[in-house]
Chains A and B, each alone.
Chain A
Amino acid sequence: MSNKKNTVFLILQDNEDARPIIEAVEQDNPDANIQYQPGMVRMEAAGRLLVNRVTVEENLGREWDVQELHLNLISLAGNIDEDEDKFEISWH
Chain B
Amino acid sequence: MSIEISAKSITPVRLAYGNLERRFGDKKPASRYQEAVYDIQPTTNFQYRPLWDKNHDIYDVSKTAIVMEDWYSFADPRQYYYGSYTIARAKQQEVAEHNFAFVDKRDLFDAVPEAVKQAVRNILIPLRHVEWAANMNNCQITDECYGSNFSSVGMFNAMDRLGMAQYVTRIGLLLDGNEEATLDAAKQAWMEAPQWQGLRHAIEDMFVLDDWFELMVAQNFVLDGLIFPLLYDRFEKKLTQEGGSTIAMLTEFMDDWYKETVRWTNALAKVTAKESAENQALLSGWVAKWTDRLSVALEPIAIEAFGDDGANELVEVKAELLDRLAKQGVTV
Are any A and B Cβ atoms less than 8 Å apart in their complex?
no
User: What is the interface of chain B, defined by CB distance below 8 A to chain A?
Assistant: none
User: What is the interface of chain A, defined by CB distance below 8 A to chain B?
Assistant: none
